[in-house]
Structure 1
Amino acid sequence: MKKTKNENTEEQILKAAKNIFQSKGMDGARMQEIADKAGINKAMLHYYYRSKQLLFEAIFKNAFSLLAPQLNAILNDDSSIEEKIKSFTLNYITFIIKHPYLPNFIIQELNRNPEFILKLKENKGFPNIKKFKAQVENDVKNGLIKPISAEQLFINILALNIFPFVAKPLIMAFTNTENKTYEQLMEDRKIEVADFIINSIKK
Structure 2
Amino acid sequence: MLKSKDENTENQILNAAENVFQRKGMDGARMQEIANEAGINKAMLHYYYRSKQLLFEAVFKKAFSLLAPQLNKVLNDDSSIEVKIISFTHNYISFIIKHPYLPNFIIQELNRNPDFILKMKDGKGFPNIKKFKAQVTAEVESGILKPIKGEQLFVNILALNIFPFVATPLIQAFVNIDDKSFKRLMEERKIEVADFIINAIKN
Q: TM-score normalized by structure 2?
A: 0.94
Count of aligned pairs between the two proteins: 203
* Contact kept in structure 1, 2:25 and 2:101, CA below 8 Å: no
Superimposed CA distance per residue, residues 75-120 of structure 1 (whole angstroms, 9 cap, x where no aligned partner) = 1110001000001001111111111121112111111111111111
- Match of 1:150, as an amino acid? G
- RMSD over aligned Cα atoms: 1.5
* Contact kept in structure 1, 2:71 and 2:127, CA below 8 Å: yes
Q: Distance in 1 between matches of 2:186 and 2:84?
A: 19
Q: Distance in 2 between matches of 1:2 and 1:34?
A: 23
Q: Distance in 2 between matches of 1:68 and 1:136?
A: 21
Q: Distance in 2 between matches of 1:164 and 1:151?
A: 21
SS of the residue corresponding to residue 114 of structure 2 reads coil
2:177 pairs with 1:177: yes
- Match of 1:85, as an amino acid? I
- Which ranges of structure 1 fall in alignment gaps of 5 or more residues? none
* Contact kept in structure 1, 2:16 and 2:37, CA below 8 Å: yes
Report the identity percentage: 78
Alignment of structure 1 residues 126-165 onto 2, 5 Å: 126-165=126-165
SS of the residue corresponding to residue 160 of structure 2 reads helix
Q: Which residue of the partner structure matches residue 194 of structure 2?
A: 194
* Contact kept in structure 1, 2:133 and 2:151, CA below 8 Å: yes
Q: Which residue of the partner structure matches residue 52 of structure 1?
A: 52
Q: Distance in 2 between matches of 1:11 and 1:77?
A: 32
2:117 pairs with 1:97: no
- CA shift, 1:149, in A, is 0.9
Q: TM-score normalized by structure 1?
A: 0.94
